[in-house]
Amino acid sequence: MTEGQAEVRTFLPASVVLQELHEAAPADQFTLRWLMGRLQKQSFGLIMLLLAIITVAPGISILGGLLLLIPAFQMIAGRSAPVFPRWIADRPLPTKHLGAVVQRAISVLKYLEKAVRPRCPSPPQLAKRVVGIFVVLLCARLLLMPIPLSNILPAVLIALISLGYLEEDGILLSIGLVAAVIVLAIDLGLLWELLHGGKPTRFLV
What H or E segment, with its residue span, contains residue 1? none
User: What is the value of pTM for the model shown?
Assistant: 0.80
CA max distance for the chain: 53
Say if 4 falls within a structural domain.
no
Instruction: Give the Cα separation of 113 and 14 in Å (integer).
Output: 8
| Contact partners, residue 145, CB within 8 Å, separation at least 6 | 187, 204
Say if 145 falls within a structural domain.
yes
Q: From first to last of its 205 residues, what are the pLDDT tens digits of the chain?
A: 444 444 444 457 788 888 888 888 888 888 888 887 777 555 788 889 988 988 887 677 888 889 999 999 999 998 888 888 888 888 887 777 667 677 778 888 888 888 888 888 788 889 999 999 999 999 999 888 767 778 889 999 999 999 999 888 999 999 999 999 999 999 888 878 878 765 555 544 4
Calculate the alpha carbon distances from 105 to 99, 117, 186 in Å. Answer: 10, 18, 26
Domain count within the chain: 1
Query: What local confidence, expressed as pLDDT, does residue 156 receive?
Result: 92
Q: Give residue 123's region: left, alpha or beta (phi > 0; psi -120 to 50).
A: beta
Burial class of residue 169 in the structure, from the number of CB atoms within 10 Å of its CB (0-12 exposed, 13-18 middle, 19+ buried)? buried
Its domain, for residue 176, covers 14-195
Instruction: Give the Cα separation of 176 and 182 in Å (integer).
Output: 10
Query: What local confidence, expressed as pLDDT, does residue 6 receive?
Result: 40
Instruction: Give the Cα separation of 113 and 168 in Å (integer).
Output: 12
Query: What local confidence, expressed as pLDDT, does residue 97 receive?
Result: 65
Say if 80 falls within a structural domain.
yes
What tens digit of pLDDT does each residue of 17-47 get?
888 888 888 888 888 888 877 775 557 888 8
Q: Look at the chain and count its residues.
A: 205
